[in-house]
Copies of this chain bind each other. A is one copy, B any other.
Amino acid sequence: MATKKYNFYAGPAILPYEVLKKAQDELLDFNGIGLSVMEISHRSKDFDAVIKGAEEKIRKILGVPDNYYVLFLQGGASLQFGMIPMNLLKSKDQQADYVHTGEWAKKAIKEAKLFGKVNIVASSEDKNFSYIPKNIKFSENAVYVHITSNETIGGIQFQTYPDSGNVPLVCDMSSDIFSRKINVSKFGLIYAGAQKNIGPSGVTLVIIRKDLVENSADGLTTMLSYKTHVKEPSLYNTPPCFGIYIIKLVMDWIEGLGGLSAIEARNEEKAKILYDFIDNSSFYKSVVEKESRSKMNVVWRLNNEALEEKFIKEATAAGMIGLKGHRSVGGCRASLYNAMDVEGVKALVEFMKKFEMANK
């Protein structure tokens, strides 16, 4: 490759170089056992250390209390959209509150409607999902409240989480988990597809309070019941072993950087550089309410939208990969997940300056 590549894909997304390098080094000989981590039994001693190690690091880094299970499942957040109402609602009469913030919330809402009554307690649809609703009033009888922490397409993010009182708060954190400190005990259930800040696609992380599992519905398809995956901890059937192994390496990497405090500071610095540049520009513009701006997915437009295709094309040629906005909204998007460093954002801003100069 001639040009250094900067990976701004929204997901599957950039992974830390150190993680990929270690995976490469030991791909043919894991732990000196003479076999690849991909070709050993999920019940072997060596893999047991991987899956237990990954769980342990997640608990430590995120501060997961003892009354929560940590599970590695399959099917992505999309399968959780169904599994959550299936497990937590016990009849079609039961209610759940959903906050509608964009494409991902919409998909979660659609599945929940198959299993119970869904109250849309707040929505930012009126302004094309360009903000996170505030002062949300939850229903009195909801079994749980569902929010989407970060919307990758609209580029909006909860800066603080709402207080749902005694009603369990269920949160899709697919695109911002491990990007900042959180208080896990404020949530009933946190779930996340791995392919942004955790690892490769194909693993779903679920962190669920123990009482929610105990009180979950019976009679479900075995693989769709949280009880199954709690009873034989993520090993009821063969788990996605290689993905879990990469997650373990990513957790080691986060720890090495100084944990979530350091990660959060770095993510704030990165987002500030890009948003400040856009705000001070008369060539580019942000379309997202300031207080709702995502630190993971920065979306913007060119004032002259006709130039956007050219912008993406020249950016790609300059090594800036994945800057095209989601096909449903267009425009530009830079995903600044954990593994993107400050230097990468600075390089992007430099390119944006040059493009502006040449096309003003």
Q: Using a CB–CB distance below 8 Å, which chain A residues touch chain B?
A: 1, 3-5, 7, 9-15, 17, 20-21, 23-24, 27-29, 32-36, 38-42, 44, 74-79, 81-82, 86, 107, 110-111, 114, 193, 195, 200-203, 219, 221-224, 236-243, 246, 319, 321-322
Which listed residue (B10, B17, B74) contacts A74, Cβ 8 A?
B74
Contact B202 A1 (CB under 8 A): no
Q: Could you list 10 A-B pairs, sorted by A, with CB under 8 Å?
A: A9-B39, A12-B40, A14-B39, A20-B27, A33-B321, A38-B246, A75-B237, A77-B237, A193-B237, A202-B241
Which listed residue (B10, B29, B44, B74) contacts A76, Cβ 8 A?
B74
A78, closest chain B residue (CB): B237
Contact B200 A242 (CB under 8 A): yes
A85, closest chain B residue (CB): B221
Residues of B within 8 Å of A41, CB to CB, are 9-12, 322
Contact A240 B202 (CB under 8 A): yes
Contact B40 A9 (CB under 8 A): yes
Q: Beyond A237-B76, A242-B201, is A12–B38 a contact (Cβ under 8 Å)?
A: yes
Contact A35 B5 (CB under 8 A): yes
Which listed residue (B42, B76, B222) contacts A12, Cβ 8 A?
B42
14 other A-B residue contacts (CB within 8 Å) besides A12-B40, A77-B237, A81-B223: A5-B35, A7-B40, A9-B44, A12-B42, A24-B28, A38-B246, A75-B79, A75-B237, A111-B221, A193-B237, A195-B238, A200-B242, A202-B243, A240-B243
Residues of B within 8 Å of A241, CB to CB, are 12, 200-202
Contact B82 A223 (CB under 8 A): yes
Residues of B within 8 Å of A110, CB to CB, are 222
Residue among A17, A34, A236, A241 facing the most chain B CB atoms (10 A cut-off): A34
Contact A5 B34 (CB under 8 A): yes
Residues of B within 8 Å of A81, CB to CB, are 222-223
Residues of B within 8 Å of A246, CB to CB, are 38
Contact B111 A202 (CB under 8 A): no
Q: Beyond A75-B223, A221-B86, A221-B111, is A39–B7 a contact (Cβ under 8 Å)?
A: yes
Q: Beyond A202-B242, A221-B86, is A28–B20 a contact (Cβ under 8 Å)?
A: yes
**Cα distance, A10 to B34, chains bound together (Å):** 17
Residues of B within 8 Å of A107, CB to CB, are 222
Residues of B within 8 Å of A9, CB to CB, are 39-41, 44
Residue among A21, A27, A246 facing the most chain B CB atoms (10 A cut-off): A27
Residues of B within 8 Å of A20, CB to CB, are 27-28, 36, 38-39
Residues of B within 8 Å of A40, CB to CB, are 7, 9, 12, 321
Residues of B within 8 Å of A38, CB to CB, are 12, 15, 20, 200, 246
Minimum CB–CB distance from A74 to chain B (whole Å) comes to 4
Q: Beyond A28-B21, A222-B110, is A238–B76 a contact (Cβ under 8 Å)?
A: yes
Residues of B within 8 Å of A5, CB to CB, are 33-35
